[in-house]
Structure 1
Amino acid sequence: MQDRATRHEIAQESAALADELDLQIVNCLQLQPRASWTLVGEALDVDPVTVARRWQRLSSAGIAWVSGRATGQGGPESCLAVVELSCSAAQTLEIARRVTELPHVLSVEHTSGPRSLTMLVEVRDLAFLSRFLLESVGAIPGVVATSSHAVTKVYSMGDHWQLHVLDASQQAVMLRGAKPRLDGLTAGQAESARGYDAVDRRLILLLGEDGRMPVATMADRAGLSESTVRRRLADLVGNGRVVLRCDMALSDSGWPVISWLWASADAGDIDEVATTLRRLPGIRVCWRISGGLSNLMLALTTHSLHELSHVEARLAAEVPQMTIHDRSMVLRSVKRMGRELDLHGRSIRSVPLDIWADAAWRQPS
């Protein structure tokens, strides 16, 4: 019997590649993830029915999807952490599958270099990270060693990355009347220190399944009134307590290559360096990290492997005060922000990001 991933890949082989209109639709949703098809159709001068049909094809094939997640756990010590795993070669794939199921793990990548797997984890504090590494990850057979780095400041995330295929007038339509999207990156903007109650958590988990889930469906699934769901969503999204993002399989987006750089800059220069980096094309992620030699971690997205050397040359010219210590290629993305991915980077299914679960969480048998 074929497993779920195999059936999914067979179905994808018959799916048409994303064309220019598909890319434009995705870019529209990168700007406004829950935008109406009427608005997207107006921006692209396309019938809304056509837009909806196109999106249905993209999402059904796992080529593009919208997801939502909490920006933190509502505590001042909550943070993201990068965890590198050294694994037995024969068990790496099974370990990747195991950690993909863990509700605190946002993303999992099979990477080159000394680290077998790299994970992004949401933790409520450093003590929680310790328990997670010792009791959840450390208990998995084949995990040889772990190394972790706390993300102390987020300058940019994949949440902000765009395809940049819309012209100025199309962008203006999508952003017309829209409030600035808050995402918890600036403590002064987002109410990141306010906790989440049980209703918030239910709605956030539903958004993790489908960031465009209709209000009526959410109300039915959560056992709430539609007015309550609308009010709660307005609070969660409007105050930056939930991040909504539109993702696309990298192989279909035209940007198939991701590489990670570990770098450092003097403490007095690091904010200026990060500001410069955010302006450079291809910078998908920029974090300030703690826990090792490097204090900066960058993700570069490029059109090809050959382009990497040109991007690094530009980095050296634009930010000479930054020193690169290490590099790593993403060989395969296994999980991205709560979505399990196949070999082509397309979404197979959502994996609940129940970041409030116990650190020693075990998958139900």
Structure 2
Amino acid sequence: MNSAISSIDDTDRALVHALQLAPRASWERLGSVLGTRPDTLARRWERMTSAGEAWISGLGLRTGTRAPCMAWVEVLCEAGSSPAVGSALVRDAHTMGLEHTTGGRDLLVFVAVPDLHTLYRYLYFRVQRIPGVTGTRSSMVTAVHTAPDRWRLDQLTPAQTDLLTGRTRRAAAPVIPAVGSAAAMPEEDRPLVLALAADARRSVASLARESGMSESTVRRRLGRLEAGQSLRYSCAMASGLSGWPVAATLWAEVPEYEVAGCAAVASGLRETRTCMSVSGPWNFMISARLRSIEGLSRYTADLSRRLPGLRITDTAVALHVRKSEAQELDQLGRRLRTVRPDIWQDPAPDA
């Protein structure tokens, strides 16, 4: 057995699941829910984060009152050049995710920028000028129905989940605001948000020291950003250790009047990680986490059975997820480093 896999146990996965639900909860609160000593949980988390096996990142990509401009970019490369092209793109702040995939593209890249003009500059003065790139095809994200920070492991009991989320079994699930409905993020808050990109559990005291603000000011700003959904937290475990090692992407066509219903059903499936409306020859895009390659056919069959109006037009399996939500990853999905997601910088300053 792989020693890295055997070092992770169910208590570690339960801790990650708990932090997915309550990213900045105290160790005392987490310990009371998980039935484990707080100092033991803190040591486990330190071990996992030091090894890149788990992490919590903070992302806030808004520009004032506007949501970021996001796109999926398919990159075609000369034979043998895709690893080098991937290495160049993975270091870019505007590249939030990057996969080497099967199918009709060499790389699938998720890009976030402040506006359409910046996307134009990034595509034509950065991506298409990398040696080895022979072509690109872009699909604009027109709506985010399910974001990756909503995907969860499945280690906790319903009662433990309720304790962490503050829900009761009779209460309705909270409505998660769509990306476009989040509150404004003032430019002055960007340094605070970027400081959380690598470690969203940083203490208020450390953030205050770095920013030069008082702790009360930092606490107040964090509360406002969290309440307005301008700042979102994402807790992840290395895919090779989580029990869900396979990443797949599906493209589909859905009648426009059925998009909302299809999104609700697709988002409710256990494997669905993201669900978005996009522009282009298809209008629907889903990414999923699977326990095995064989699970892809079962997942697509389940989608088709539940959604007769949805027509899957293409699928791709990730051979290597090199970056996810600004985190550069190794082949097991462990974090190597954080690429500071400063999407407001000029992507091609020398153009």
Q: Does 1:280 align with 2:269?
A: yes
Distance change >3 Å, CA 43–CA 195, structure 1 → 2 = closer
Q: Does 1:20 align with 2:20?
A: no
Whether the 8 Å contact between 2:185 and 2:230 is mirrored in structure 1 is no
- Tell me the equivalent position of 2:69: 79
* Shift of residue 270, structure 1, vs aligned partner: 1.1
Distance change >3 Å, CA 358–CA 346, structure 1 → 2 = same
- State the secondary structure of the residue aligned to 2:320: strand
- State the secondary structure of the residue aligned to 2:131: coil
Distance change >3 Å, CA 272–CA 177, structure 1 → 2 = closer
Whether the 8 Å contact between 1:261 and 1:326 is mirrored in structure 2 is yes
Cα distance in 1 for partners of 2:134, 2:344 equals 27
Q: Does 1:229 align with 2:218?
A: yes
Distance change >3 Å, CA 58–CA 82, structure 1 → 2 = same
The letter for the 1-side match of 2:304 is A
Cα distance in 1 for partners of 2:141, 2:50 equals 34
Cα distance in 2 for partners of 1:256, 1:250 equals 5
Whether the 8 Å contact between 1:71 and 1:240 is mirrored in structure 2 is no
Question: Pick from 104, 107, 110: which aligns with 1:120?
Answer: 110
Distance change >3 Å, CA 104–CA 186, structure 1 → 2 = closer
Whether the 8 Å contact between 1:110 and 1:116 is mirrored in structure 2 is yes
* Shift of residue 343, structure 1, vs aligned partner: 1.5
* Shift of residue 361, structure 1, vs aligned partner: 4.8
Question: Pick from 11, 30, 45: which aligns with 2:20?
Answer: 30
Q: Does 1:60 align with 2:53?
A: no
- Tell me the equivalent position of 2:288: 300
Q: Does 1:354 align with 2:342?
A: yes
TM-score (norm. length: structure 1): 0.90
Q: 1:205-284 residue pairs with structure 2 within 5 A?
A: 205-284=194-273
Distance change >3 Å, CA 83–CA 186, structure 1 → 2 = closer
Distance change >3 Å, CA 206–CA 187, structure 1 → 2 = same
Cα RMSD after superposing both structures: 2.0
Moved more, 327-336 or 217-226: 217-226
Whether the 8 Å contact between 1:78 and 1:123 is mirrored in structure 2 is yes
- Tell me the equivalent position of 2:134: 144
Cα distance in 2 for partners of 1:341, 1:124 equals 25
Cα distance in 2 for partners of 1:308, 1:187 equals 30
* Shift of residue 15, structure 1, vs aligned partner: 7.7
- State the secondary structure of the residue aligned to 2:134: strand
Whether the 8 Å contact between 1:183 and 1:241 is mirrored in structure 2 is no
Question: Pick from 132, 142, 145: which aligns with 2:122?
Answer: 132
* Shift of residue 261, structure 1, vs aligned partner: 0.6
Question: Pick from 314, 317, 320: which aligns with 2:308?
Answer: 320
Cα distance in 1 for partners of 2:341, 2:348 equals 15
Whether the 8 Å contact between 1:181 and 1:240 is mirrored in structure 2 is no
Deviations 1:78-110 (Å, cap 9, x if unpaired)?
321111111123221121111111111111111
Give aligned-pair identity as a percent.
37
- Tell me the equivalent position of 1:341: 329
- State the secondary structure of the residue aligned to 1:162: coil
- State the secondary structure of the residue aligned to 2:296: helix
- Tell me the equivalent position of 1:204: 193
The gaps in structure 1 that reach 5 residues or longer are 1-11
Deviations 1:255-282 (Å, cap 9, x if unpaired)?
0111111001111111111111111120
Cα distance in 2 for partners of 1:85, 1:23 equals 34
Cα distance in 2 for partners of 1:15, 1:344 equals 10
Cα distance in 1 for partners of 2:55, 2:213 equals 25
Distance change >3 Å, CA 195–CA 50, structure 1 → 2 = closer
- State the secondary structure of the residue aligned to 1:359: coil
Deviations 1:53-79 (Å, cap 9, x if unpaired)?
111111111110000111432354732
Cα distance in 2 for partners of 1:157, 1:59 equals 23
- State the secondary structure of the residue aligned to 1:173: helix
The letter for the 2-side match of 1:228 is T
Whether the 8 Å contact between 2:254 and 2:311 is mirrored in structure 1 is yes
Cα distance in 1 for partners of 2:330, 2:67 equals 34
Count, aligned residues:
345
Question: Pick from 89, 92, 96: which aligns with 2:82?
Answer: 92
Cα distance in 2 for partners of 1:164, 1:13 equals 23
The letter for the 2-side match of 1:91 is S
- Tell me the equivalent position of 1:70: 60
* Shift of residue 359, structure 1, vs aligned partner: 3.0
Whether the 8 Å contact between 1:17 and 1:252 is mirrored in structure 2 is no
Question: Pick from 14, 22, 29: which aligns with 1:39?
Answer: 29
- State the secondary structure of the residue aligned to 1:269: helix
Deviations 1:318-342 (Å, cap 9, x if unpaired)?
0011001111111111111111111
Question: Pick from 163, 186, 197: which aligns with 1:173?
Answer: 163
* Shift of residue 175, structure 1, vs aligned partner: 1.5
The gaps in structure 2 that reach 5 residues or longer are none
* Shift of residue 177, structure 1, vs aligned partner: 8.0
